[in-house]
Amino acid sequence: MRRAASFLALGLALGFATAPVRADAIDPRAVRWFHAADCPAFNGNVSRTYPNDPPWVKNADEGLDWGRGMAEQQPVYMYDPVRHFAIFRRFSESDGSVTVRAIGPPPPGVPRESRIVRTTSGVTIGSTAATVVRLIGKPLIVRGCGVERYAYQRTRDEEPTSLEFTIRGGRVVEIFENFGG
């Protein structure tokens, strides 16, 4: 109880009204809600599933700035009711990923909090495909499920990590970042 109170106090101190909820602690409907939009053609990390390596990002420091307050290693789902996107993040000691996706309201049990999520260069949900190319570089484009996935490699040392954008109707509807492993 004391530990839970300290996490809540920390979350409030950081400006979050609701602490993120671990994926294994929420209703399975929330998991289905988020993953219903998954495209089997992409199956997560495009850079690992296609024979051609994606190109490197222009800026080696390029990455997803998804905010603070989600430091636990358990999977977390949350929803931003102001900007209408969800975040799913999964970390372990050796790897991890963050997915930000434009999506409708979640079922009960998924925390709602407003946060700004963008890449280092400023790409956000709703940015145009042309903006992605201008700021990040020419991508490997993979098509499936009626959308395009723009894939990039981020790091050259150790195991490459990726930064990927799902484009629908010329706009970014999902950003996926992989941290290796």
Give the tens place of pLDDT for each residue, 103-128: 888 888 788 887 778 899 999 999 99
How many domains are there within the chain? 1
pLDDT above 50 for 132: yes
Q: 1 falls in which pLDDT band (50, 70, 90)?
A: very low
- pLDDT score for 160: 65
Asked whether residue 55 carries a pLDDT value surpassing 90, the answer given is no
For residue 112, what are its two tokens? Answer: 């709602």
Alpha-carbon separation of residue 20 from 33, 145, 148 (angstroms): 16, 30, 30
Query: Residue 137: which of 64, 66, 62, 65 has the closest Cα?
Result: 62
- What is the mean pLDDT of the segment spanning 123-151? 94
Structural domain boundaries enclosing 171: 2-178
For residue 113, which of 45, 3, 21 has the smallest C-alpha distance? 21
What pTM does this model have?
0.78
**What is the structure's pLDDT at 155?**
72
What is the average pLDDT score of the chain? Answer: 76
13, containing H or E segment: helix 2-13
Q: Is the pLDDT of residue 9 over 80?
A: no
19-28, 52-61, 171-180: the lowest-pLDDT one: 19-28
